[in-house]
Every structure is written in C-alpha cells, then in structure tokens.
Amino acid sequence: KQRRWNRPEGQQRTSDRFRSLLLAAPRTPSTRPLAMRQALLCLGAAALVPPTHRRPPTALRAKAEAFVTEQAPDLLKEIVMKRTSLGEDARRNNARTGGSVKVEHVTLDKIDGNGLEFTCSVKRRAGGFGGGFSTEDETTAANWGDLLECGWEEDQCEVDPDGATAQRRLMQVACSLGLNGDAARLLSTEFPGGLGDAGALPDNLWLNNIPASKKARSHLGDAVCDAVVQAILEEAPTLQVTVKPPELDPEMDTYRIGTLLELARHLAFRVIEGTGRKVRICVQAPMGEGIFSGLPLSLNGVRKLLEMMDWGSQGAELQQKKFIRFGAVGSEWVDSDDEVFVVLAPQSIVGNSIVPLLQDMVEAAKGRPVILINGRMGDVQSSAGVMSYRGRADRLDFVDEFREC
C-alpha cells in the first residue's frame, strides 16, 4: 500500500482504473489471465510514458484551431479584415481600386497567450484595373489586446489560455463584431478542451411561456450573474448585458417588468456575495422639461416598484447596511461609498438622449463598474437637432466602450 501511494499521480490513476477492470472480470480460467495481461500491459505503458507527455497540449490546441476554422469561417474572415494589418492593407487597396484584394479563406493556425495566428488565401489583382487575379497564401496575426478592445489589460492578455478561456475569448470577439451566430456555434459542447456542458441548455426551458417557469428564469439569472461577477473581478469598467427572452424584451407585448426586477434582485445578491462590493441599482428618471418631460413606457413606475418589492430578510438587512441602494441615471447619483452601478434598461426617448447622462455617470464613477441591463442607446429621431448627425460619432464611440458580457 505504501509503494502504491508513492507512485506518480498519472500511474496511480491508471493502476486504479485497471484494478477495477481486473476485479470486474469473471473468475474463470479463460478470462482471468486475459484481464491480468491487459492490466499489466497498461501499467507498463504508464510507467514508461511520463504523465505530462500522454496528452500533449499542442494536440488538443490543434483540435481547437481546426474546430474554429470549420465552425466559424465568417468570424475568422471578419477578424482578419478588421483586426489585422493584412485586413487594413486590403481595405486601403480596395478603397483605391475597388475590390482588388479578396480574402478567400482563412485558417486558424495558432491560439496562444499573445493572440491568434492565421494563414489566409488572398486573391490580388495584378496590373491595376483589367488585370487578372493571382492567389497566394499569406500569414497574419492579431493580439488579444486588439481583439478584446475594452476591459482587458495587457497582463491579462499575456496569460496562455486553456481551452475554456480561449473559447470564452473567441465568443466575446464574435459578439463584439456582431456575429452572434458564430458565438453560439463556438459555445458547442464539442469545443476541444472547452467549457463542455457548461454552455449546454437544459431541457424543457419553454421560454415562450409567459411568465416562464422558475427553472427557466433561474437558468437565465444564473448565467447573467456568473458573467457579470467574472467581468467585475476582471476589473472591466463598463459592461453591457443583453438577455432578451420574450418577457424581458421591451419591444414585445409580452414584456413583464416583474422578471426584470427579479433579475436585478438576483444580480445584486450575487455581486455582493461574489465580490463583496456595494451595489446601487438605477432606473432613469423622466427626461425633458415641463410638458415635454417623459419616460419610456417600459420603465414607468419601475423605480417605485423596485423599492416596494419583497427583498426578503436578507435584502432588508443589506439595504439597512447600505450594501444595496437605489437611484437614477446621472452623476448626482454617484456616491463615494458606491462600488458597482446597475442600470436597468436605459433608453433614449423622443427629444432626449440617455447617452449624456450615462457619460456623466461613468466619468463620476472613475473606473468603478457601470453595468447596463438590456440597454437601448440608439438615437431616436427627434426635432430641433436632438440626436441628429451632429455628435453621433461621439455617442456611438461611447456605446462601443461597453463590454458585452
């Protein structure tokens, strides 16, 4: 027994596995020696091959690269065109000569701590307009700092990612490029060395039921809370969460405010439990002046409901200790004791944009996390030059700063 426990870890696992095989074999003269020979052969192989060399990480990573190349070709092309020097050169040449450079196919060669490396089949026009095309293979790369534009520091990007980390990062890149379909395909349980069943949906969610079952709401709430807590721990300053089953989509007639408030309560508890930080939950106040003041219909009365809802004994105690507080959108609602700000469904209305109020709030927060839940910050056509072409680029740049989680 003492000798067995002094063996290498990998050899112990192999020994235990085949000991069970040996014990499970029928005790007959014909089969017992066969099982013993199998056990001895496997033990000998385990002793000869070091545990660290039995499943090379490079082999697993090569499978992941092949999987991404097969399942997300559009994502790889988009990354090459928008995040690499090859794509910048192609855009510049195409702007001058109109389609003179085309990326036909992209193969993901390598995933490591620095970023991604590609081999691209590039078709270039020779001899200017009217010339023929020639196809050549070219290599290019994109580092994680450029791929993950917001919320990531260089020291985080240098960490050599395992399968699950690479899967998360690629999904985040896909979402930032607007390729949600590719992000969903990368969530597959077949991603080599990835998240496995963690990304699988449970059976019988029935999200078309209004209200959805407690199981479905708990599943969505847990997924949102896990993502937000992880992003907060990574010190991401601005976050955006989009979760829109039918009862959480303000644009549908099935919108149910109770589900949003339930999600906000669950998120506040999980953030306090997972990070120990104080949370302020904010709902925008009416915007405008006089008879022109207004509030989106989906948020009418939500602030009052938020304060009146049942928070339970734990919630009441946290509110008494000022771990949970309520407010509106704007710099005047940022207190020095607040550590995390959760804004519920911020949106612009006719004549007034929510973006300036959010900008002031983010500036006043000074790096503390500001989290938007189902925000709709696009421009709404209004008179008097409000949300017109002037200043639109600045508004869009501000919205793009929010990291989707």
- The per-residue pLDDT for range 227-255, each reduced to its tens digit, is 899 888 888 888 888 888 888 888 888 88
393-402 pLDDT, tens digit per residue, is 777 778 777 8
281-335 pLDDT, tens digit per residue, is 999 888 877 777 777 778 888 888 888 888 988 888 998 898 999 999 988 989 9
Q: How confident is the model at residue 375 (pLDDT cuts 50, 70, 90)?
A: confident
251-274 pLDDT, tens digit per residue, is 888 888 888 999 999 999 999 998
Inform me whether the pLDDT recorded for 208 exceeds 50: yes
15-57 pLDDT, tens digit per residue, is 444 344 334 444 444 444 444 344 333 333 333 333 333 333 4
Higher pLDDT, 53 or 93: 93
Contact 377, 393 (CB under 8 A): no
Please report the pLDDT score of residue 156 as a whole number.
Answer: 53
Percent residues over pLDDT 90 in the chain: 12
Higher pLDDT, 372 or 393: 372
Please report the pLDDT score of residue 59 as a whole number.
Answer: 54
Q: What is the mean pLDDT of residues 180-203?
A: 77
Please report the pLDDT score of residue 270 as a whole number.
Answer: 93
Please report the pLDDT score of residue 265 as a whole number.
Answer: 92
How many of the other CB atoms lie within 10 Å of CB of 4?
11
Please report the pLDDT score of residue 34 as a whole number.
Answer: 43
Contact 87, 81 (CB under 8 A): yes
209-219 pLDDT, tens digit per residue, is 888 888 888 88
Q: Are strands 403-404 and 238-241 parallel, antiparallel or unpaired?
A: parallel
Closest listed residue to residue 266, CA positions, set 219, 203, 231? 219
At 31, list the tokens: 């089969």
- In which residue are the tokens 């270039």 written? 124
Please report the pLDDT score of residue 279 as a whole number.
Answer: 93
Four-residue CA torsion sign, 80, 84, 88, 90? negative
Q: What is the mean pLDDT of residues 174-190?
A: 82
Higher pLDDT, 381 or 340: 340
Please report the pLDDT score of residue 266 as a whole number.
Answer: 93
Residue type, 79: I
Please report the pLDDT score of residue 278 as a whole number.
Answer: 92
Q: What is the mean pLDDT of residues 132-154?
A: 75
Please report the pLDDT score of residue 175 as a whole number.
Answer: 83
Inform me whether the pLDDT recorded for 168 exceeds 50: yes
**Highest mean pLDDT of the ranges 94-98, 278-282, 391-395:** 278-282
Please report the pLDDT score of residue 158 as a whole number.
Answer: 55
Q: Which residues of 244-283 are buried (b: 16+ CB within 10 A; e: fewer)?
A: ebbbbbbeeeebbbebbbbbbbbbbbbbbeebeebbbbbb
